[in-house]
Amino acid sequence: MEAISEKAVTRLEDALGKENVYPDNPHRAVRAAVPSPFPVCHWEEHIPDIVVLPKTTEEVVEIMKIANEFKIPVVPRAGATGLADGAVPMRKGILLDIKRMDEILEIDDVNMTATVQPGLGMLELNKTLSRIGLFYPDDPASYPCSIIGGRIGSGGWSLMGSGYGHVPDLVISMEVVLPTGKVIRVGGGGGRKIRKSSVGYRLKDLFIGHSGTLGVTTEATLDLCKKPEAECPAYFGTGSFEESHDLALALERLGLKTMTAVVIFDNEKIEFLRRDDEAYIPQPKEVVSVVLALLYGSEGEVLAARKQVFETAVDKMKATYLGDEIAKGDWASRHDRYHITYHGRNAAGEVSMMSWHCEDAAIVHSELPYVRKKWHEIVKRYKREYDGYFDDWGMFMYTSNPFKAYGDYLTEVDIGVNELEMTPEIWQAFIKMKSEIAAVALEAGGSISTCHGGTRPGDVELACHQELAEGSFDLMKDIKKLLDPNNIMNPGKYLLDEAYQ
The interface region with ligand FAD, picked from 73-81, 265-273, 419-427, 428-436 by CB under 6 A, is 73-81
The interface region with another protein, picked from 32-40, 64-72, 166-174, 362-370 by CB under 8 A, is 32-40
Which of 164, 157, 160, 161 is CA-nearest to residue 208?
A: 157
Per CB under 8 A, does 393 bind another protein? no
Q: Of 4, 8, 9, 34, which lies in the binding site for ligand FAD, with binding defined by CB under 6 A?
A: 34
CA distance readout (Å), 159 to 144, 294, 295, 313, 409: 13, 9, 12, 21, 11
Per CB under 6 A, does 149 bind ligand FAD? yes
Q: Of 14, 17, 18, 25, which lies in the binding site for another protein, with binding defined by CB under 8 A?
A: 25
Which of 263, 258, 247 is CA-nearest to residue 295?
A: 258
Question: Are the C-beta atoms of 375 and 440 separated by less than 8 Å?
Answer: yes
Q: Select the binding partner of residue 78 from ligand FAD, another protein, none (C-beta < 5 to 8 A, by kind).
A: ligand FAD
Nearer to ligand FAD, 172 or 313 (CB): 172
Nearer to another protein, 221 or 352 (CB): 352
Nearer to ligand FAD, 153 or 237 (CB): 153
Per CB under 6 A, does 146 bind ligand FAD? yes
Question: What are phi and psi for residue 405, nearest 5 degrees?
Answer: -85, 70
Distance CA 429, CA 436 (A): 11
Distance CA 187, CA 208 (A): 11
- As measured in angstroms, the least distance from the Cβ of 207 to ligand FAD is 8
Per CB under 8 A, does 130 bind another protein? no
> For 406-466, where are the E strands, in sequence order?
408-417
Which of 199, 230, 214, 104 is CA-nearest to residue 153?
A: 214
Give the footprint of another protein on residues 298-337 (CB under 8 A).
Answer: 336-337
Which of 239, 365, 245, 262 is CA-nearest to residue 309?
A: 262
Q: Please calculate the CA angle 146-133-336 and round it to the nearest 5 degrees.
A: 30
422, containing H or E segment? none
Q: How many CB atoms lie within 10 A of CB 7?
A: 11
Per CB under 6 A, does 115 bind ligand FAD? no
Give the footprint of ligand FAD on residues 177-236 (CB under 6 A).
Answer: 211-212, 216-217
The interface region with ligand FAD, picked from 42-50, 142-150, 193-201, 361-369 by CB under 6 A, is 142-150
Q: Footprint of ligand FAD on this chain (CB under 6 A)?
A: 34-35, 75-83, 86-87, 98, 118, 140-142, 146-147, 149-154, 156-157, 159, 211-212, 216-217, 335, 451-452, 490
